[in-house]
Amino acid sequence: MSTTTYHATTWREEGFWVVEVSDLDIMTQARRLDQVEAMTRDLIAVWLDVPADSFAVIVEHQLPGDVADEIAQARRLRAEADAKAAEAAHLWADSAYRLHKLGLSLRDIGKVLDVSFQRAKQLVDEARLVKS
């Protein structure tokens, strides 16, 4: 069974968030963004005389162009940073494992990697799980 999805657009106007459901040509408002989905659901449910949980709602926020561009850039950079952090974590664990295979103690591995010996053990164990 497929669920109907309604798209709502919000924008800021005189202390309120205006909410437009263009699919139904209806509008409401909310004081805060965390109220928008509930207000939108209530509006659609009353308008169509259906239960508020019988459809999906996707909300898009219209922000000034320069702010929207900054947010988009920040999201891209965060995604890149997350990918780099994951890559670094893999290399860190792999290095710890290889040092362990060379016979270095966990304390020595910790010193080389500038982490505690407990963290060195975690890294070795993480890499061991991946390799097995």
Domain of residue 53, CATH code: 3.30.160.250
Looking at the fold, whether 70 and 127 belong to one and the same domain comes out as yes
Residues 51 and 26 both lie in one domain: yes
Structural domain count, the chain: 2
> What's the pLDDT at 114?
95
Residues 81 and 93 in one domain: yes
Partners of 12 in the β-ladder: 17
* pLDDT at residue 67 tops 70: yes
Cα distance between residue 112 and residue 91, in whole Å: 14
Q: Which domain holds residue 72?
A: 66-131
Task: Find out whether 59 and 10 touch, Cβ atoms under 8 Å.
Answer: yes
pLDDT digits (tens, 9 = 90+) for 90-130: 999 999 999 999 999 999 999 999 999 999 999 999 998 88
Same domain, 46 and 88: no
Residues 52, 92: one domain? no
What average pLDDT does range 34-62 have in this prediction?
Answer: 95
How high is the pLDDT of residue 1? Answer: 59
pLDDT band, residue 132 (cuts 50/70/90): confident
Cβ 52 vs Cβ 42: under 8 Å: yes
Residue ending a domain, among 62, 80, 107, is 62
Give the tokens for residue 117: 């010996």
Global pTM value: 0.62
